[in-house]
Structures are given as structure tokens and as C-alpha cells.
């Protein structure tokens, strides 16, 4: 592999230590030295005026299937990401029996909004066990990948259609044995979801939601036999705050497993609990978004934005022509209006998606020129202007355009994103500002720029913390959490996963459409500015802001770190 010298840059090594002027020498995939005045007979990359850091570790992705049809991990790699952790929210693509593949594909597709046809046609499905899945994926990647076992997938492997009930003691024991086999094969974690937002293709709860707290705790305890690993949970109080049962599971699962747990979708009440856990020697991490959350969708491709409303959801599950006919049917409209009106009264612990905020749900782009007057208008504004019910304001427009009207839904506009309370969240010692969801919701959104957005807005512009601490959160803290002692720090002997930034320009750009999925299907991507160079395992995947086409990434296995 030879040597590469990154010369003349400012090194922020990932530990939180003060930045320093130094060269970084890479040799055979590892960092050989970090000091001034280094030389080499190999390649020299000038980093004068630039900042050299460890590569970002993205701790929340759903790239479980993406690497098979897009092995470069483009969009993530544009932001200096060098390693990703996937298998979150209780969903993984293994272990899976051949007769169960259709259910797993459609469950994953439903929750994570990935067209089922992509997984059906472009994944090899040459695996049953977790180890076979890792081997199948490990054919050269643009990033390093770590996989976790999803509770819903594991439950369906053991129980099949019977997974829509509580498991027996024997079934839980069998799940535990298989989970242990997955750990032995290289799994880095176990994740589950109790969130009311998570439903299978038929609208029924995903398998993990039928599990008792005791089942979740017993399965998580399997990781007491592993030196590395982590747990993840989407709590029942995803939209309303932690329930007492959520807290009990967290307390017992961390005690029995001896491992940390990551919470996705935490509210303000979770942060004091994390501090209390730390005082008792337990580690609870919270994943929180760094950038404002907004997504694009239309009723032609599909969306789960209306999942709380049963009739809307049933119609969205129909083929496009039947869907169009149903939304145009005046006899169905009263029921659709009723469900829109009733959404606000639903108990937050039973919500299947966050409530639609109608004055933030806007027409991004009308499909027909005659309707472009609606571009930028909210559904509330259209309804008020035309004297219509909210349901009719949406449906009259989309039916006239064959369901192809594109909407943008902002859960929090940029203007309200910089608050003191949010600054406090990001500075919390157990907060991870990396809720990218990379690999999921491809047709609707892309948040791969969480890390560069965090550095630009929260660290450099808002001053929520020092640059050294901000980089530490994205690198060594993440490495320590998931159990990667050889990454996340620029130091001799560490793996050369490295990013080089121009801090004057670093940032995440607005999402844009790309037509690079199999069959020319559309997805959303997010590019960056200020990311000059990226190395993965000592091989450059980006030089001077351009992709090199190299695939040096590997599937990392937990057994390698015992």
C-alpha cells in the first residue's frame, strides 16, 4: 500500500486535546506518525491551511441493504464519514429464512421508506445466517460497516407469523441462542423498537412491539458475554417522553448486559435520566439530530406521513391507480376528513408518526404548470384561501396531478433551530449529534450531512463547544461507544480513517435529487462543502473534493475486538 504524507495541516486528533500543527504519515493502512517535519518517499498531500481529523463515525444508519447496490456509500462519504453503524430500530436483513424474505423486505421498506423492488431485485439474498450476510456484503465498500441484529428480524426468524404475540420462554431462549450466534459471527449490537410509529406493511405493529419488557431485557443480556457491543431502543414514549416502563427496561438491560444503550427519539426528560444512570455506572446515550428535519414526498411514490390515519394508510398501501381512484372518490372523503380532524386527539403513545403540522406542510413543486401558483404555500393556507377542509385541500390538488404533487414537510424550520435548550443538549456528555438515518427514506429525505452541519453551525458558528470537543463527539467518543479502539483518534498505530477539512467552508448543502438508484430510480442526496480529502483504511476515497472510486472499506466484525 505504501506511504502517504498529509503535510502542513492543523491536526485535531479526536481526543479533545488542543489542536496542533503537525504532519500525518500513513503507512500500510495505519497511522505511522503524527508530528512536525515528517518526510516520505511516497505520495505527499498538501494540507496547508486545512484541518486534519479522524473520519466521522456515523452511529445511526440504515445502510443494511444500500451497500449491495451502492457500495461506495456516496452521500455519507462526501461528509468525511469513514465508518457507519447500521441495524438500528430493530431492523436488520439477517438472520432471515428464504420463506421470510418477503416479509422482512416489506417491513424494512415500510418503516424505512425504501422501495421494496430495490431490495427484491438488487440484493443477492445468498444468506440465511448473520455471518453469511456479513460475508456477502464484505466485497469492497467505500466505508467501513458495522452491523447490529434487529429484534423484529430476529423475532420473525424464530416465530414467523406467530411473532404477533408474546413469546414463550422457549422461544425467548431460542432467540437468545441465535442472537449469541450472531454476536459470534460479528454483530456489534442488538436493537429494538417499542415506538408506535413502527408498523409492518399491513399496518400491524412490527414484531418487536409484541415483546414483553422481560424479553427485551433477556435478549440484551446476551451481550454480557461479549467484550464489545451496544444496545439500541426506540422507546414507547418516542413522541411524548419516556414512560416508566421505558425507564425500567433501560435500567435493567444496562445492568444485566454491562453495555451501554442508545436511545433514538429522546425528549428533554431523558437527559436527566442519563446523568442519573452515569452516577450509577451505567451509560445511556441519546441520538439527536444536528440539522433541521425536513422531507420531500408525494402520494405517487408514497409516504408514511399519514400512518396515524387508518383509511389514509389503507389507501396508500394500494397500487397507484387504485390509490388515485380512492382519493378521488367523494364517498370516501368524509372518512378522510374525519381522520384528519381526529388526529390531534390521539394519545401520543399511540401515534404512528409525528402529527402533521399543516402550516409547515407545503407544496414544494406542483406537477402541472397551471398549479404552480401553489408552490411554497402551506396546506393550511390553501385550505383557508379556497374555503376547503385540510383533507380536500391536499387531495383536490394531488388528484388533479395524478398524485405527483411534491410536498415539503418541515418539523422544525431553520429559524427556530438555534435555541439555548438545544445548545445544552448538544453539550451533554452523552449526546450524539448524528441521527443521519443514512440509507433510509431514500425517496423522501437525506440527512447524511449531520456531521458537517454540526461542525459548521453548532461548533463554529454557534460556539456550543470547542472544535476539539465537537470533533471528539464525532470520532473517538463514537468509537469508544461501539467498541473500536483502533479508530477515532489520529495517533501512531491507529487505522488511517482520516478526513481533511477547510473550516472556512465546511458545511452541508441543501438536499438534491439524484437518479442513481438501480433502474434509474430517484433518491435524495446531500452534498458538502469544505471536505477536501478522505482516507478509509489508508486508501483515499476522496482527493481534492472528488471521489476516487476506490472501495477500501470493510465489514468490521465484533470478534476482531475481543
pLDDT tens per residue across span 480-538: 988 999 999 999 999 999 999 999 999 999 888 888 777 777 788 999 999 999 999 99
CA-nearest of 481, 483, 467, 495 to 431 is 481
Residues of the chain with CATH 3.20.20.140: 57-293+414-482
Looking at the predicted structure, is the pLDDT value of residue 39 above 60?
A: yes
pLDDT band, very low/low/confident/very high, at 451 (cuts 50, 70, 90): very high
Most confident of 7-11, 287-291, 459-463: 7-11
Mean local confidence (pLDDT), 2-14:
96
Q: According to the 3-state scheme, what is the secondary structure of 274-306?
A: HHHHHHCCCCEEEECCCCCCEEEECCCCCCCCC
Q: Are 172 and 222 in contact (CB under 8 A)?
A: no
CB neighbourhood size of 529 (10 A):
17
Helices 213-220/244-257 angle, 10° precision:
20
pLDDT at position 546 is 95
Q: What is the pLDDT of residue 415?
A: 63
**pLDDT, position 358:** 84
Whose cell is 408552490? That residue is 375
Regarding predicted confidence, which is higher, 235 or 476?
A: 476
Span 296-313, average pLDDT: 83
pLDDT bucket at 229, cuts 50 / 70 / 90: confident
Q: Which residue has the higher pLDDT, 514 or 135?
A: 135
212-216, 251-255, 273-277 — most confident range: 212-216
Residue 425's pLDDT is what? 82
Tell whether the model's pLDDT for residue 279 goes beyond 70: yes
The more confidently predicted of residues 426 and 517 is: 426
pLDDT value, residue 424: 80
**If you average pLDDT over residues 368-397, what whole number do you get?**
95
Stated pTM of the model: 0.90
CA distance 109 to 101: 12
The answer to whether residue 419 scores a pLDDT higher than 80 is no
Residue 417, pLDDT > 80, answer no
pLDDT of amino acid 276: 82
Q: Provide the pLDDT for residue 396.
A: 96
**Tens-digit pLDDT profile for residues 164-195:** 999 999 999 999 999 999 999 999 999 999 98
Pick the more confident residue, 110 or 474: 474
For 183-293, strand residue ranges (E) read 189-193, 230-234, 261-264, 284-287
Residue 53: which H helix or E strand, with range? strand 51-54
Q: What is the mean pLDDT of residues 341-347?
A: 76
Q: Are 65 and 439 in contact (CB under 8 A)?
A: yes
Average pLDDT estimate for 368-386: 95
Q: Do 490 and 30 contact (CB within 8 A), yes or no?
A: no
In tens, the pLDDT along 87-129 reads 999 999 999 999 999 999 998 887 777 778 889 999 999 999 9
The class (CATH top level) of 57-293+414-482 is: alpha beta
Summarize the confidence of residues 347-367 as an average pLDDT.
76
Instruction: Summarize the confidence of residues 147-157 as an average pLDDT.
Output: 98
CB atoms within 10 A of CB 550: 17
Which run of H or of E encompasses 153?
helix 151-159
Amino acid at each position: 500500500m505504501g506511504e502517504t504524507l498529509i503535510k502542513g495541516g492543523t491536526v485535531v486528533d479526536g481526543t479533545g486535546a488542543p489542536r496542533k500543527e503537525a504532519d500525518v504519515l500513513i503507512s500500510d493502512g495505519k497511522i505511522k506518525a503524527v508530528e512536525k517535519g515528517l518526510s516520505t518517499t511516497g505520495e505527499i498531500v498538501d494540507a496547508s491551511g486545512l484541518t486534519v481529523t479522524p473520519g466521522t463515525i456515523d452511529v445511526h444508519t440504515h445502510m443494511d441493504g444500500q451497500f449491495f447496490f451502492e457500495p461506495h456509500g456516496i452521500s455519507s462519504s462526501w461528509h468525511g464519514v469513514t465508518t457507519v453503524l447500521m441495524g438500528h430500530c430493530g431492523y436488520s436483513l439477517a438472520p432471515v429464512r428464504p420463506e421470510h424474505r418477503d416479509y422482512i423486505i416489506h417491513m424494512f421498506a415500510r418503516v424505512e421508506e425504501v422501495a421494496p423492488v430495490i431490495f427484491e431485485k438488487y440484493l443477492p439474498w445468498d444468506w440465511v445466517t448473520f455471518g453469511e450476510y456479513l460475508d456477502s456484503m464484505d466485497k469492497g465498500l467505500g466505508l467501513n460497516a458495522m452491523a447490529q441484529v434487529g429484534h423484529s428480524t430476529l423475532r420473525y426468524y424464530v416465530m414467523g407469523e406467530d411473532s404477533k404475540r408474546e413469546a414463550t420462554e422457549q422461544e425467548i431462549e431460542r432467540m437468545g441462542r441465535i442472537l449469541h450466534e450472531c454476536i459470534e459471527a460479528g454483530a456489534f449490537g442488538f436493537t429494538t423498537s417499542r415506538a408506535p410509529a413502527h408498523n409492518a406493511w399491513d399496518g400491524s405493529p412490527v414484531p418487536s412491539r409484541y415483546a414483553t419488557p422481560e424479553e427485551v431485557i433477556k435478549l440484551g443480556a446476551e451481550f454480557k458475554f461479549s467484550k464489545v457491543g451496544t444496545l439500541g431502543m426506540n422507546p414507547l414514549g418516542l413522541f411524548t417522553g419516556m414512560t416508566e416502563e421505558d425507564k425500567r427496561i433501560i435500567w435493567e438491560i444496562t445492568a444485566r448486559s454491562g453495555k451501554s444503550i442508545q436511545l433514538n427519539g429522546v425528549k428533554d426528560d431523558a437527559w436527566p435520566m442519563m446523568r442519573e444512570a452515569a452516577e450509577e455506572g451505567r451509560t445511556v446515550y441519546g441520538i439527536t439530530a444536528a440539522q433541521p428535519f425536513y422531507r420531500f414526498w408525494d402520494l405517487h411514490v408514497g409516504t408514511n406521513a399519514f400512518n396515524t390515519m387508518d383509511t389514509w394508510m389503507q389507501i396508500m398501501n394500494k397500487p397507484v391507480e387504485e390509490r388515485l381512484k380512492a382519493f378521488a372518490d367523494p364517498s370516501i372523503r368524509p372518512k378522510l376528513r374525519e381522520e384528519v380532524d381526529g388526529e390531534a386527539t390521539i394519545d401520543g403513545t399511540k401515534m404512528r408518526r409525528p402529527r402533521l403540522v399543516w402550516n409547515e406542510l407545503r407544496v414544494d413543486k406542483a406537477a402541472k404548470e397551471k398549479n404552480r401558483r401553489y408552490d411554497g404555500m402551506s396546506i393550511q393556507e390553501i385550505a383557508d384561501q379556497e374555503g376547503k377542509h385540510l383533507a380536500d385541500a391536499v387531495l383536490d390538488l394531488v388528484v388533479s396531478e395524478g398524485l405527483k404533487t411534491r410536498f415539503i414537510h418541515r418539523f422544525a424550520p431553520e429559524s427556530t433551530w438555534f435555541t439555548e435548550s438545544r445548545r445544552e443538549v448538544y453539550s451533554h456528555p452523552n449526546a450524539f449529534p448524528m441521527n443521519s438515518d443514512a440509507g433510509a427514506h431514500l425517496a423522501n429525505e437525506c440527512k447524511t450531512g449531520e456531521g458537517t452541519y454540526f461542525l459548521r453551525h453548532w461548533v463554529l458558528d454557534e460556539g456550543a463547544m470547542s472544535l476539539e470537543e465537537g470533533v471528539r463527539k464525532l470520532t473517538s467518543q463514537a468509537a469508544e461507544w461501539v467498541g473500536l479502539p483502533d479508530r477515532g483518534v489520529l495517533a501512531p498505530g491507529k487505522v488511517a480513517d482520516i478526513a481533511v477539512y477547510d473550516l472556512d467552508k465546511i458545511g452541508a448543502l441543501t438536499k438534491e435529487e439524484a437518479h442513481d438508484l438501480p433502474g434509474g430510480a430517484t433518491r435524495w442526496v446531500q452534498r458538502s462543502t469544505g471536505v477536501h480529502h478522505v482516507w478509509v483504511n489508508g486508501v483515499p476515497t476522496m482527493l481534492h473534493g472528488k471521489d476516487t472510486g476506490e472501495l477500501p472499506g470493510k465489514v468490521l466484525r465484533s470478534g476482531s475486538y475481543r
